Amino acid sequence: MSRASLETAIPSATPVVLDTSVVLAYLNGKERASPVAAVVLDDFVRNGRNTAIISSVTVTETLVRPFKAGAPELGIAEDFLVHFPNLKVDGVDYAVAREAARLRAESNLRTPDALIIATASVHNIPIVVANDDQWTKPIATSVPSVTLCHLDAHAPI
């Protein structure tokens, strides 16, 4: 695929929810999807082409390895999570938790995955950017208002 396919999948001025897999690919920089994650975050979100939300679940999942690794890695991850332009952390409130429960009841999604997808559903954000093959069917059947943008579908870039 190409950058053009990614720009089509994520139209300008359209808000997105980013899954943990996107954040980890970006921070790691060594995954197959890392260059695509870099375009999404550096070219789309940082520059204000798109705004992005991450769930507080993503904050938790993102900080596990840095806490194990120590201060330098933790500082890099926290700086990204707290200060990255046009990126907002959204907490899990009743509405998100309720929607996640509905998603879990209708699919085999794990609770963290359901909470991230529910964040998009509750806030009427039309695109979830992720790199998880198991999300395609649950999103299509349970949240038809949300589209999955799968990073690997646009790699290499």
pLDDT digits (tens, 9 = 90+) for 89-146: 999 999 999 999 999 999 989 999 999 999 999 999 999 999 998 999 999 999 999 9
Topology (CATH) of 3-92+126-135+146-154: Rossmann fold (3.40.50)
Q: In Å, what is the CA distance from 41 to each residue of 82, 84, 91, 94, 137?
A: 14, 9, 20, 28, 25
Q: Residue 44: in which H helix or E strand, if any? A: none
- Amino acid at residue number 148: L
CB-count exposure of residue 13 (10 Å: 0-12, 13-18, 19+): exposed
All structural domains of the chain with their residue ranges: 3-92+126-135+146-154
pLDDT digits (tens, 9 = 90+) for 81-91: 999 999 999 99
Threshold 0.95, pTM exceeds: yes
- pLDDT value of position 133: 86
Confidence band of 41 (pLDDT split at 50, 70, 90): very high
pLDDT at residue 17 greater than cutoff 80: yes
pLDDT digits (tens, 9 = 90+) for 63-85: 999 999 988 999 999 999 999 99
What's the rounded Cα separation, in Å, for the pair 5 and 1?
6
